[in-house]
Structure 1
């Protein structure tokens, strides 16, 4: 028997309408409505009505709708690759010299060979694909979309070129708004996502058949970026508020840095830990990049006007932690000394003025990739010389996100054409 549909009473509906009007800035109309309806205007402005409408339109998917994912496969990953990291193990992590550890701006580095990447696999969302993230061991990747869904993919199946392999092993639904960022827990069995719906959701990806989250963390603002600490005990979150959030994942408690004077002055666009969890970095619409101590949350470095005063779209540490890579709305990506805040290299030749796009290192950090909003291409630079090496085409909409495998040469891109693409080297070059 179908469950009887529940409805809100008149007062609740009108309260939601007035709150939504104030959220959109129509304060006078909201005031008139409250006076005419005798509904007290005592609620703070919110987008709750918009969230409910979005949820009713896009998230109430039945099992038949789920089956429309033509390449989805139930896949048992329980019991494999379950790992945990102690603080000692993380602190002792070694970084081979092939990674970016000591760049000398005065040295004339020999340019790297232009890598010959080819498209290996495509999957599709029902709206713009907004973000993608690899698991630490590179065996799985996850994607998020403006349609509020997530997909989990098996990397080996994307590489197989087999018609029988179906790389999408999970499709997850529990958000009511655009998905903005993703993070795999270090145990490899939990995926976190954040959204415009102001929630962080935690999904069990090891259990077959589960499509909803088992836990959520609620904020007052849309959540733009998240990142698990390498131990998995804590999570960073950046929202449309100026203060970074620290979530204790086990106890569901939220903390903010103690010195409010160190906060950003506008929305936070990206937060990322370094590889050992001793520091983290953040970027903001206010045009700044900040480096923070991981243990006490003290800001130890602020780079103002990092991209000529324009919004900073993304930041991440190099694997050694010596450098920070950023992208901004001045159409550049930049490499910074994490300790001094000095710009070491500027990567030019890609247009990104009106959209927040990402820049990232390919696996061994010989190359930096980003995207160009003018022609929807993916751009590749030599990381040490800043030379633009090549462009890869295929997307027919703005490329919102690029993410590289942490363990091998593959990377993924996604964008406004609803497509997620997996790229890897030509077999002759790999």
Structure 2
């Protein structure tokens, strides 16, 4: 099956379908080297997909039996040897593979009082973050022999925490919530604290992602807007006031009118820097950062423009997740997950 993005700047996307899930697919995640694509969903399973060619992917493993309810989120460890899953049964599963063996659940993390919504593995590989409907964020230390110890439980959000995401190079965590805020978390003497709260969205924030430097953050919300945030260090040249010698995050750009319903997912490519978004209006959009300009008063003006879009990306159903390929081998590949139970891989092509 081949679908096309509506051409914007003469850019379009081919699509390939991968079937297997028997319920909606909530999330997809590429392994760090891009050799595997993991998907999870309402059928309580994780499927691993491997390529036999650029146009053919096959399901090589089905991970099941551990979770009793929907698997909402998945995250690969930085070395690609393990996979973490967050489920509505409140458990977090850790899956591993011995050489030549199938993947199996090697640990389950308990603590959330109800639905676990998101899981994210820090770049260092030593920390794992989870969040859930119980308004809490858990920070886990990754030990040897599949031993995970809870280091801290963070409870400053006033509503469900929808997503957690680690900074691409530092052990700094961002969280997005039903309370319409994003919080930035840091460690100080073995104690985790909220260093900044980002306000501006008018409704639930479903998705966040950093750019490759960690200086910028994008967020998608139920208010149908994308917001781009920049981190300003103390004594910045723009004159942004910072508190307690902490960096300050400020919204530098808001994009509205591109999505007609809730934005469920955003992905900022760590290769070419483009941003993809998807949501309840069945569309996928791709945005590109324009060259920043500095005014006489040292104000940094940053804009983002849409360069490609596709309607009915998964027929008439929600597009729950969008993820760019992680390396420069196939930098223009994009994976999506939909309520139709289908995983799709798209290719962005410039003529």
Normalising TM by the smaller chain, what interval? 0.7 to 0.9
Q: 2:271 aligns with which of 340, 364, 377?
A: 364
- Deviations, residues 259-312 of structure 1 (Å, cap 9, x unaligned): x5xx111111111111123311111000000112145422111012x312x011
Q: 1:206 to 1:277 in 2, by over 3 A?
A: farther
Residue 198 of structure 2 is matched in structure 1 by: 303
Q: Any residues of structure 2 matched to 1:213-252 within 5 Å, and which?
A: 213-219=105-111, 220-250=113-143, 251-252=147-148
- Deviations, residues 339-367 of structure 1 (Å, cap 9, x unaligned): 432211222211233xx611112343442
| Higher helix proportion | 1
| Higher strand proportion | 2
Is the CA contact 1:277–1:294 (under 8 Å) kept in the aligned structure 2? no
1: distance between equivalents of 2:171 and 2:86? 23
1: distance between equivalents of 2:116 and 2:87? 5
> Which secondary structure state, in structure 1, belongs to the residue aligned with residue 304 of structure 2?
coil
Is the CA contact 2:122–2:128 (under 8 Å) kept in the aligned structure 1? yes
Residue 271 of structure 1 is matched in structure 2 by: 164
Query: How many residues in Structure 1 have an aligned counterpart in Structure 2?
Result: 304
List alignment gaps of at least 5 residues for structure 1: 1-111
2: distance between equivalents of 1:244 and 1:128? 25
Q: Larger relative contact order (C-alpha < 8 A, sep ≥ 6)? A: 2
- Deviations, residues 40-60 of structure 1 (Å, cap 9, x unaligned): xxxxxxxxxxxxxxxxxxxxx
1: distance between equivalents of 2:79 and 2:163? 23
Residue 197 of structure 1 is matched in structure 2 by: 89
Q: 1:207 to 1:198 in 2, by over 3 A?
A: farther
Is the CA contact 1:280–1:294 (under 8 Å) kept in the aligned structure 2? no
Q: Shift of residue 124 of structure 1?
A: 3.3
Larger radius of gyration: 1
With structure 2 as the length reference, what TM-score do the two structures score?
A: 0.80
Q: 1:116 to 1:231 in 2, by over 3 A?
A: same
Residue 347 of structure 2 is matched in structure 1 by: 424
Q: Shift of residue 207 of structure 1?
A: 4.9
Pair 1:347-2:266 in alignment: no
With structure 1 as the length reference, what TM-score do the two structures score?
A: 0.66
- Deviations, residues 353-412 of structure 1 (Å, cap 9, x unaligned): 3xx6111123434422112423x1211222333323332244121101111112122110
Q: Shift of residue 211 of structure 1?
A: 5.4
2: distance between equivalents of 1:368 and 1:180? 22
Q: 2:150 aligns with which of 254, 257, 270?
A: 254
1: distance between equivalents of 2:270 and 2:201? 25
Q: 1:320 to 1:222 in 2, by over 3 A?
A: same
List alignment gaps of at least 5 residues for structure 2: 1-7, 233-247, 291-302
2: distance between equivalents of 1:361 and 1:231? 20
Residue 412 of structure 1 is matched in structure 2 by: 335
Is the CA contact 2:97–2:104 (under 8 Å) kept in the aligned structure 1? no
